[in-house]
Chain A
């Protein structure tokens, strides 16, 4: 059973640029969530995708957007990067029933984004 894989592992971007982060969910999981984790902080919920539609969003501006594909993989896009966007971006997947009942979410190792 494969886990959640994220790419790339590290990324350096310049302020104002755009970035796309990718996530392959665990086999059998159809729900994907994205989180932002600043250094020394707990993860903050960005949004969740279920059956290719966004079905929940945290307090993040519209320049944070996402996609989920038919194979349940997902992308996180961030436009007009700001210095404060520097963080570890985590993807988490779960199966349909489990996500609604709050069962285990499987996290990837994350993408470390640095904005300079």
Chain B
């Protein structure tokens, strides 16, 4: 069964303290790995899509990478406004438009 697991569930950082979030996946025929940011009471906001192992994408303080088994979201010198829940989702070969989400990592960045 296709599955996505994120770790850690929660992460507290001091402002400027870099770290990484992990997303492990077992998905048949991975066609895309998505990262979303979700603020409390809001819908997920698209960050990145990765399509093949070795691919990397960057946006401001965020950098996403992909291997054949997992993806990492690296946060460099985070700021308090980076506090949110980060969701990882996989899109497989089922062709039904189904995104398989992990449970998310809730990041808190303290000033």
Chain A interface (Cβ within 8 Å of chain B)? 4, 31, 33, 35, 40-45, 48, 50, 55-58, 90, 92, 94, 99-110, 112
Contacts of A107 in B (CB 8 A): 36, 43-46
Complexed CA–CA distance, A94 and B44 (Å): 14
B98 contacts A42, CB within 8 Å?
A: no
B25 at the interface (CB under 8 A from A): no
Can you list 18 A-B pairs with a CB-CB distance of less than 8 A?
A31-B97, A33-B97, A42-B89, A42-B102, A43-B99, A43-B101, A56-B96, A58-B98, A92-B43, A100-B97, A101-B32, A102-B32, A102-B34, A102-B49, A104-B49, A105-B46, A107-B46, A109-B41
Contact A110 B42 (CB under 8 A): yes
Please indicate the chain B residues that have their CB under 8 angstroms from the CB of A55 in the complex: 96-97
Contacts between chains A and B (CB distance < 8 A), count: 79
Residues of A within 8 A of B95 (CB): 56, 100
Cβ of B42 to closest chain A Cβ, rounded Å: 5
Report the separation of the CA atoms of residues A106 and B89 in the bound assembly, to the nearest whole angstrom.
13
Contact between chains at A42 and B49 (CB < 8 Å): no
- In the complex, besides A94-B97, A105-B46, 12 extra interface pairs with C-beta distance below 8 angstroms are A42-B102, A44-B101, A45-B98, A48-B98, A50-B97, A100-B97, A101-B32, A102-B51, A103-B49, A104-B49, A109-B41, A110-B41
Complex contacts, A4 vs chain B, CB 8 Å: 43
* Complex interface: chain A residues within 8 A of B89 (CB): 42-43
**Residue on A with the closest CB to B95?**
A100
CA distance A31 to B49 in the complex (A): 18
B78 interface hit (Cβ, 8 Å): no
**Residues of B in contact with A (beta carbons under 8 Å apart):** 4, 6, 31-32, 34, 36, 41-46, 49, 51, 87, 89, 91, 94-104
Which residues in B have their C-beta under 8 angstroms from that of A90? 43-44
The reply to whether B46 and A40 contact each other, CB–CB distance below 8 Å, is: no
Give Cα A50–Cα B44 distance, bound, in whole angstroms.
21
Kindly identify which residue among A45, A100, A112 contacts B100, using a CB–CB cutoff of 8 Å.
Answer: A45
